[in-house]
Structure 1
Amino acid sequence: MAAQRQPQGRIRINQETVVIAISVVLFLVFSIFLNKFLSQGNIIALLKNVAILGTLAVGMGFVVVGRGIDLTMVAVMVVGVAFSIWLSTQGVSFTFAIVVGGLLVALLGLFTGILVAIAEIPPIFATLAIASAVYGAGRILFSSDVLYAPSNIQWLTFIGSGTIFGIPMSVMVFAAVAFVMSLFLKKTRFGRLVYASGDNPAAARNSGLPTRPVIITQYVVSALIAFIAGIIMTGLVTGINTRLYNSTLIYDVLLVVVLGGIGLSGGQGGVRNVIVGTILVGILINGMTILNFSYTSQNLIKSVILLGALAIDAVINPRDEQTSQSGDI
């Protein structure tokens, strides 16, 4: 008997397609019932906010694919950029100060990776402690919570207000980061090592794969991507507010990653999932802002959605025995 052929053209229903469908429905509903939603100013604001959130989520997704988590991203972002701005007030050129700030955050990512990979401290505890320490050090060093960049930096102004073919430059930077990360994960040997380490760390280690260097590199890259997100934010608002560390931004980033379909069990997902999650969360936050939802109400709604996404992830991507023995994330 001839084998039955699979129907052609069928849409595969998975978490990614569901999130895309919800995003389309939300966009249509907001477009119909919210007068200001489709205004040019609001669409531009939505894109710029998505650029920051999405850039951070690319870094977080990279770590989660390797079965980790990085709660230092917002602290590294605000303190790294604030340090660069502070350094520029000491007589150093702003561009060189940005380079020094990038080196600082890379060292912080290296230290985090060493704690996770070599000291084998569970990532959720290591990154939470480091985030608190980094923010505390920043509060001691800086005399103000808000630091403003010099006003005559053309490349920073271009990132904040420039456009390419009508698309905000901040969105183009996000797209570039996402594109490079996608190629990195799909086309390089290191990307395959990340997936192998995330899928089964013990098997990868027993096979002779360099799992510890892979983990360390993930946290360095994550810190640098957070720094790029901070530069985007500085270009948009001409400065950085270190109190952003106390906001729910890190949970918004996690919401993007989990909603998009990158399982916390590791070894699956990619940049496309991050983009899908970013679009949904960006539309949701923008709509709630136009509806004048209070900050507390927005956080409540996002928390409920995050809990639901985590529950779905636990069902779709159940923890294996090896994960339980290794202490999870």
Structure 2
Amino acid sequence: MSVASSDQPNPSKTGFARKIIATQEGIVFTLAVIAFVLFSVLLPGFLSTGNLLVLVRSVSILGILALGMALVVIARGIDVSMIAIMVVSVSWAFVITGAGYPFVLALLIGAGFAILSGVIIGALIAFGDVPPIFATLAAGSVIYGTGRTFFFTLEMQNVPVNTDWFALIGQGNVLGIPVTVIAFLVLCALFHFVLSRTRFGWMVYAMGNNPNAARTTGIPMRPMIVAQYAISAFIAFVAGLILASSANAINARLFNSTMIYDILLVVVLGGIGLNGGHGSIRNVILGTVFVGILLNGMTIMNIDYTIQNLVKGVVLLLAIVADSIVNPRDEQTSQQGDL
């Protein structure tokens, strides 16, 4: 008489969960369409060319950041240090350029700082067994404090002069399509290929689905964790460059904003479970579009910033509750250090 292992998924339960996830995607897509139609009808200027350009550019930047977050979340992690890495690495690159260094060299130094920060954070999690939420939260404060103390004193750093080509990244168009949108779509295609067609992607899903089994099968867990946070940090740097190019400056105050919660809202609302092991780039795109439309609509309605944060907080809380129902915590996710 054989007894089924409790670690094996229940087919009926798995099928039910997939139906719920598919329903969640359908609900979010429907809400995005409804919000777009309502804002188009009720809000003067929502469909204007200027506003749509602002919408797609802001959505693209948010989506790029969400790609980095999605990678670590699928692997059963989380990264709340992204905004700190973004503002410090880009601001420092601009300061270095102002000191007389070539702009391209300064950008390489900024990228190196971002990647090094990701590697250190990943090492703390992989080798120090520090829970990701605490490691990235503390590291974000350290990175921001270090930047403001040693790298730059002004919160606002303007794009260096004589870098007209840099403005094309955030403000240019190719065949009528904003470069920011093209960059987002290219990164989406790249991440989709990596996650669905490469061994690295398979290991990311395996780590998120069952860390113990992944470790038993020989997956190099620690190097993989370090690599994921390094990639997330580099993506934050790229998003920061696009943001700075769009606004002709980078503002360090973003570290104290709710931007990191917007990123989490995109990931969770789109359908990527915080327990890891599932989700796709389609979920990131879906969540990005809906959150982008919602934020843009509230901005046009001139809703108070505090009320906007309240709305986003409620939506994020509901999304997390829904995620906990769809993806209940198992033996692995209940262990200390899963997030």
Per the normalisation by structure 2, the TM-score is 0.92
Give the equivalent residue in structure 1 for 2:149: 140
Quick check: 1:243 aligned with 2:253?
A: yes
Identify the match of residue 24 of structure 1 among 28, 33, 38. 33
CA distance in 2, matches of 1:158, 1:13: 38
1:218 alignment partner AA: Q
Q: Does residue 50 of structure 1 match 2:78?
A: no
Shift of 1:13: 4.5
Name the SS of the counterpart of 1:119 in structure 2: coil
Alignment partner, residue 101 of structure 1 = 110
Equivalenced residue count is 320
1:155 paired residue among 148, 165, 177: 165
- 1:124 matched residue in structure 2: 133
List gaps (5 residues or longer) in structure 1.
1-9
Shift of 1:268: 0.3
Q: 1:72 aligns with which of 70, 78, 81?
A: 81
Cα deviation digits, residues 51-101 of structure 1 (max 9, x gap): 111110000001100000001100000000001001111110111100111
Q: Distance in 1 between matches of 2:189 and 2:200?
A: 16
8 Å CA contact 2:130, 2:337 repeated in 1: no
CA distance in 2, matches of 1:221, 1:285: 27
- Following superposition, the deviation at residue 154 of structure 1 comes to 3.1
TM-superposition CA deviations, 1:90-122 (whole Å, max 9, x none): 110111100111011100000000001111100
Q: Are the aligned partners of 2:61 and 2:243 in contact in 1 as well (CA < 8 Å)? A: yes
Q: 1:191 aligns with which of 192, 201, 204?
A: 201
Show the 5 A alignment for 1:266-305. Answer: 266-305=276-315
Partner residue, 2:318? 308
Q: Does 1:206 pair with 2:219?
A: no
Q: What one-letter code is carried by the residue in structure 2 that aligns with 1:291? A: M
Matches of 1:65 and 1:13 in 2, distance apart? 17
Moved more, 163-172 or 54-63: 163-172
Q: Which residue of 2 aligns with 1:4?
A: none
Letter in 1 for 2:272: I
Determine the C-alpha separation between the residues in 2 that align with 1:15 and 1:63: 21
SS of match in other structure, 2:250: strand
SS in 2 for 1:321: coil
Matched AA of 2:163: I
- SS of the aligned residue for 2:214 comes to helix
Give the 3-state SS of the residue equivalent to 1:323 in structure 2. Answer: coil
Give per-residue Cα distances to partners, 1:278-326, cap 9 Å, x unaligned: 0000000000011110100000000000000000000000010122124
The 10-residue stretch of structure 1 (63-72 or 165-174) with the greater mean CA deviation from structure 2: 165-174
- Residue 172 of structure 1, CA deviation: 1.1
Name the CA distance, whole Å, in 2 between partners of 1:195 and 1:116: 18
Give a deviation string over 1:2-25, Cα, whole Å, max 9, x none: xxxxxxxx9x94211111111001
Q: Which residue of 1 aligns with 2:265?
A: 255
Asked if 1:36 corresponds to 2:37, the answer is: no
Query: Given the superposition, is the C-alpha separation of residues 125 and 13 from structure 1 closer, same or farther in structure 2, using an over 3 Å criterion?
Result: closer
1:113 matched residue in structure 2: 122
Question: C-alpha offsets along residues 245-279 of structure 1, whole Å, 9 cap, x if unaligned?
Answer: 00000000000000000000101001110000000
Matches of 2:181 and 2:332, distance apart in 1: 40
For the residues of structure 1 that align with 2:168 and 2:22, how far apart are their CA atoms? 41
Aligned-residue CA RMSD in angstroms?
Answer: 1.4
Q: Which residue does the alignment assign to 1:6?
A: none
Q: State the Cα distance separating 1:179 from its structure 2 match.
A: 1.3
CA shift digits 1:116-166 (9 cap, x unpaired): 111110000000000000010111121211111113213311112210111
Could you say what secondary structure the match of 1:320 adopts?
A: coil
Aligned-partner Cα distance in 2 for 1:212–1:199 = 16
Task: Give the aligned residue type for 1:203.
Answer: A
1-side partners of 2:40 and 2:316: how far apart? Answer: 25
**Runs of 4+ in structure 1 over 6 Å off:** none
TM-score (norm 1): 0.95
Give the SS at the match of 1:68.
Answer: coil
Q: CA deviation at 1:327?
A: 3.2
Distance in 1 of aligned mates of 2:70 and 2:79 = 9
Instruction: For residue 232 of structure 1, report the CA deviation from its aligned partner.
Output: 0.2
Distance 1:270 1:215 in 2: 19
Aligned CA distance change for structure 1 residues 13 and 55 (closer, same or farther; 3 Å): closer
Matched residue SS, 2:157: strand
